[in-house]
Structure 1
Amino acid sequence: MISWLRKILPAGNRAQASRARSVDPGQPFVVNLYDDRLVVHRPDGQREELEWDVIERVVVRVSNREPWAGKAWLILVGDPKSNGTPRGCVVPLDAANHAALLERLQAFPGFNQQKLDNALSDAAAGKHRTDANCWKRGAQPAESDAMDAMDTMGNASNDSNPFAQPGSAHEPGKH
Structure 2
Amino acid sequence: MSVIEVLICVAVVAAVTLIYWKLMTRRSKAWPKVSDYLDAEFTAESSLLPESLYRVEVSDTEIRHLHPDGGQEILAWDDLQSVVILTTDQGPMLPDLYWVLSSGQSNCMIAQGATGEKAMIERLQSLPGFDNETMIDAMSSITTQRFALWHR
TM-score range, shorter chain: 0.5 to 0.7
Aligned equivalent of 1:128: 143
* Shift of residue 65, structure 1, vs aligned partner: 5.3
2:103 counterpart of 1:78: yes
How far apart in 2 are the matches of 1:89 and 1:40? Answer: 7
Cα 1:23/1:56, change in 2 over 3 Å: same
* Shift of residue 42, structure 1, vs aligned partner: 1.8
Counterpart residue type for residue 33 of structure 1: V
Aligned equivalent of 1:172: none
How far apart in 2 are the matches of 1:56 and 1:40? Answer: 17
Aligned equivalent of 1:24: 33
Q: Deviations over 1:4-28 (max 9, x none)?
A: xxxxxxxxxxxxxxxx996135342
How far apart in 1 are the matches of 2:118 and 2:136? Answer: 14
Q: Which runs of 4+ in 1 moved over 6 A?
A: none
2:71 counterpart of 1:62: no
How far apart in 2 are the matches of 1:119 and 1:77? Answer: 18
Counterpart residue type for residue 95 of structure 1: A
Q: How many residues align?
A: 107
Aligned equivalent of 2:70: 45
Q: Equivalent residue of 2:118, what SS? A: helix
How far apart in 1 are the matches of 2:89 and 2:55? Answer: 23
Amino-acid identity (%): 24
* Shift of residue 114, structure 1, vs aligned partner: 1.0
How far apart in 2 are the matches of 1:74 and 1:100? Answer: 13
Q: Which residue, out of 113, 126, 132, partners 2:132?
A: 113
How far apart in 2 are the matches of 1:45 and 1:103? Answer: 25
Cα 1:50/1:128, change in 2 over 3 Å: same
Provide TM-score, normalisation by structure 1: 0.55
* Shift of residue 69, structure 1, vs aligned partner: 4.0
| Cα contact 2:95–2:111 (8 A) shared by 1 | no
How far apart in 2 are the matches of 1:21 and 1:77? Answer: 20
| Cα contact 1:22–1:44 (8 A) shared by 2 | no
Q: What pairs with 1:135-154 in structure 2 (closer than 5 Å)?
A: 135-137=150-152
Q: Deviations over 1:105-129 (max 9, x none)?
A: 001011011111111112xxxx113
Q: Equivalent residue of 1:99, what SS? A: helix
Task: Give structure 2 stretches of 5+ with no counterpart.
Answer: 1-28, 35-48
Aligned equivalent of 1:104: 123
* Shift of residue 89, structure 1, vs aligned partner: 0.8
Q: Equivalent residue of 1:131, what SS? A: strand
| Cα contact 1:37–1:51 (8 A) shared by 2 | yes
* Shift of residue 52, structure 1, vs aligned partner: 0.3
Task: Give structure 1 stretches of 5+ with no counterpart.
Answer: 1-19, 81-86, 138-175
